[in-house]
Amino acid sequence: MGFLLPKSLLSLFLLHFFLTTLVNSSDQTVKTYIFRIDRFAKPSIFPTHYHWYASEFADQSTILHVYDTVFHGFSAVLTPSQAANVLQNPSVLAAFEDRRRQLHTTRSPQFLGLRNQRGLWSESDYGSDVIVGVFDTGVWPERRSFSDLNLGPIPSKWKGVCQIGSKFTSRNCNKKIIGARFFAKGHEASGRFGGGIIGGGINETVEFMSPRDADGHGTHTASTATGRYSFQASMSGYAPGIAKGVAPKARLAVYKVCWKNSGCFDSDILAAFDAAVNDGVDVISISIGGGDGISSPYYLDPIAIGAYGAVSRGVFVSSSAGNDGPNGMSVTNLAPWLTTVGAGTIDRNFPADIVLGNGRKFSGVSLYSGTPLSGKMYPLVYPGKSGVLSASLCMENSLDPNLVRGKIVICDRGSSPRVAKGMVVKKAGGVGMILANGASNGEGLIGDAHLIPTCAVGANEGDAIKSYVSSVKVATATINFRGTLIGIKPAPVVASFSGRGPNGLNPEILKPDLIAPGVNILAAWTDAVGPTGLDSDTRKTEFNILSGTSMAAPHVSGAAALLKSAHPDWGPAAIRSAMMTTASVTDNRFQPMTDESTGAKSTPYDFGAGHLNLDLAMDPGLVYDITNDDYVAFLCSIGYGPRTIQVITRSPANCPVKKPSPENLNYPSIAALFSSSISGGSKSKTFVRTATNVGLVNSVYSVRIESPKGAEVTVKPATLVFSEKVKTISYAVTVTVDTKNLVLDDSGAVFGSLSWVDGKHVVRSPIVVTQIDLL
C-alpha cells in the first residue's frame, strides 16, 4: 500500500512555508541558497541577468553561480533573513537550500552483447563523433584508458574548455579528454571540505583544485563509459584481460562536481549542467543521488531540473538508481526524462572459500591479493558473541587485542566501510577476516581489495559459521583465494543493493528503467589513493574493481553514445526506448532473472524493462518517442501549476482545462494503479501509446500479451501496419481487474508484458498492476 501527497497547491504552500521558516529563523548563519528567477521579468535597463541579480537580489560578492541554460537564476551565500527578502520579490519562482548529495558507488562490454567488429561497435565507428559528459570526481588523465591514439580531430561542435588548476594543465586534455572543468563554489561556501579547512579552503594534500581525480570514482565511471582498449589490464591479477569502455572512441568531457570525502553540492551540479549543455555534450552520465534516501519533488530537485534542461535540448541523461536496495521504493532519480539505471551482476566472479576446522566449506568472494594463508588453520573468533554491537561490526577501537591477536575474526557488515573493518582487525593483531552479511543484505556479495586476507559471505553462510564458533571450544578456519572465474551462472542477477521500485513520487511511471552491469566492474583508477580508498592504503593500481549503481549508469551512457552515433536523428526518449524495449528479462540459463538478496524470481520493480542488451537496441524496430510538450502535459497531470512547471521547463506552461492522465505519458513501460478503497468489482483503465517505426518502411506488427495474474489486458488495434505514409500509430491498452479478488505478490503488484512482433523484432513493454491510494 502506498500513499502520495496531492500536488495542486503544494508548491505555493512550500514557498510560503519556506518563507515563513526563514523569516522566523533565529539561526542567522550564512547558507547557500539557489533561486529560480523568471527570466522574462528582467527589466531592460540591465544589460545581463547577472547585473540584475547583483543589483536587485543579492550583493555581488555573495553570488556563487549564475545559471542561464538549463535553469534561470543564481546561487548565493545569504543569511535566512536575507534569503527571505529575496523571496519577497515577485520574480522569484522558487528557492531551495543547497544540499549535499552522494556518489552511488573488463568483461562487462561483452556481457552486454558487444562483440568486436560486429554489431553495434563496428556500425557506429565506436561512437567517435559523440561527446559524453561525466559528472563525478574528475579524472586521472594519464591512464591508458584515456589515450587519444588514432582518434580523429575533435568534433567541430565542441565549445568546451580545458580548465587548468592544481596538477592539471592544458596538456592533460587531448583528442580523448576533449574538455575538463571543476565546480567548487558551492563546496567552498559550505566550508566543509574533506581536509577540514573551514571557510572554503581546500586541503591540497587530499584534493586537487582542478579536474584531477583525488577519489578514483570519476576515473572509474569515465573509463567504464568511454575507456580505450587497455591490454594486459587487471587489478593485482584479478579480472585479467583487455579493459575497455562501452564506447571506446567516444570523446570524454569531465565535469568535477564531487570532492573527496565531501559529496557533491546541488549548486555546483546545476552549474555543471549549464556548462555541459553549452559545451555541446551529447550524453551526460551522473552517478549521484540524494544523500537521505528521500526523493524531492521535481521542482526542488536540481538533478531533475538540470536534466530536463539537457534532455529538452536533445542531450541524453543517464543516472544511477541508488544503492538502498533491496528495500522497496528505494529507487532514486525518478524524473521521467531521466534514464534511471539499476545494477546487475556479470558472469565473472572472484571466489574465495572458508574451510572450517570441522571440514565444512563455505563459498564467498574476495579481491585480496597479498600473501595467502596457504591452507594454514588459524583460531576463529566472533567478537559479536559478547553482545556489544560495535565489536560485532568491528568498528574503530572496538576490538580487544587479547581476544583477536593471531586469529581470523568474523565481522558483521554495516555502519562502517567493508575494507575499514579489516584495518581494525589488523590493528588489533588479527590475521584475517570473515565479513558476514546481515539479513538486510541477504546473499548479495561485493568483492573488495582487502588489506588482510578476507572473505565476504552471505547471511546464511555467516550464521552457519557463527553457529560453529559457538558450538566448539576452539574454532579454527582458513581462507583459500581462487582468483577469477568466468562463465558464472546464473547471470545477470539483480544486485541486492540496487534501488528498487515502485516509484515513490509517481508510481504511474515505472522506475528503474532498466539494469546494467554494476557488480565487480574493472575500470581505470586514480594514483592518488589505493584501491580501497582508505588513507592507510598506500598501494597503487592502474585499475580497480568496484560495485554500485554508479558503475551501471556509465554502461548506459556509453550505450547511448553508440546509439546516438549510429542513429544521429534519435532523441533521448527514442534512445531510452530502444534500450528498454529490447532489454533482456532472462539470465544465461534462459530462466527468468533472479534477485541476489533472496534467490527468488525478480520483477520489473527490481529491473524495470530488463537488462541492457546493446546488439538488439541497435535495431529496435519501433520506439516510443516523447516530446517536451509531452513532459509538460505530464507535469500538468500530476497537479503542478504554471509557475511550478516554469521552475523546471524555463517557460510558463498552459495546462489544458481537462487534466491529462500521467499514465498516458508515452513511456515504454505501463503501470496501472487501482484504488484499494473503492468497493470490489470489475475496474478498467485505458492507456494510450504511440509507436514510431524506425525499422523497414513497410512493416506489420501484431500484439503479444502476457497478462498479469488476475488481470485482463486488451489492445486495440491488435495489428500495426506501417508504410511510407504511416510512420507513427497510436494504440489503446485496457487493463481490467476485479479489485476484490486481485492477489498482489510480495512486492505489492502483479506483472505482465505487451510485445509487438513482426517476425524479426520483439518490442516489449512491462506491465505493472498495483493497488495504491493517492492522498
Distance between CA atoms of residues 675 and 379, nearest Å:
58
Q: Kindly report the CA angle at 703 between 699 and 705, in degrees rounded to 5?
A: 155
CA torsion 733-307-618-664 (nearest 10°) is 10
Grid cell, residue 546, equals 568496484
Nearest of 305, 369, 346 to residue 491 by alpha carbon: 346
Residues 573-593 as b/e (b if ≥16 CB within 10 A, e otherwise) read: bbbbbbbbbbbbbebeeeeeb
Distance between CA atoms of residues 175 and 154, nearest Å:
6
Give me the sign of the Cα torsion angle 299, 302, 307, 312.
positive
Q: What is the DSSP string of 469-514?
A: HHHSSS-EEEEEE---EES-SS-S-B-TTS---S-SS-TTS-SS-E
Residues 6 or more apart whose Cβ sits within 8 Å of residue 541? 235, 236, 449, 525, 530, 531
Give CA separation, 755 vs 688, 697, 715, 768, 770, in Å. 15, 19, 11, 14, 20
Q: Which amino acid would we find at residue 673?
A: L
CA torsion 476-481-486-488 (nearest 10°) is 10
Please pick, among 136, 268, 347, 513, the residue that the annotation labels catalytic. Answer: 136
Active site residue 217: yes
Nearest of 305, 287, 596 to residue 437 by alpha carbon: 596
680 CB-contact burial (10 Å; exposed 0-12 / middle 13-18 / buried 19+): exposed
Grid cell, residue 545, equals 574493481
Q: Characterize the bridge pairing of strands 283-286 and 131-136.
A: parallel
Nearest of 612, 578, 580, 616 to residue 693 by alpha carbon: 578
**What residue has cell string 570525502?**
261
Tell me the sheet residues that pair with 151.
none
Please pick, among 223, 262, 319, 550, the residue that the annotation labels catalytic. Answer: 550
CA 268 vs. chain centroid, Å, equals 18
Give CA separation, 554 vs 294, 477, 479, 627, in Å. 23, 40, 34, 24
Residues 263-276 as b/e (b if ≥16 CB within 10 A, e otherwise) read: bbbbbbbbbbbbbb
Please pick, among 72, 104, 217, 611, the residue that the annotation labels catalytic. Answer: 217
For the chain, how are helix, strand and coil distributed in percent, rounded to 5?
Answer: 25, 30, 45
Active site residue 496: no
CB contact at 8 A, 771 and 724: no
100 by DSSP, 3-state: which? strand
Q: Which amino acid would we find at residue 132?
A: V
Residues annotated as part of the active site: 136, 217, 550
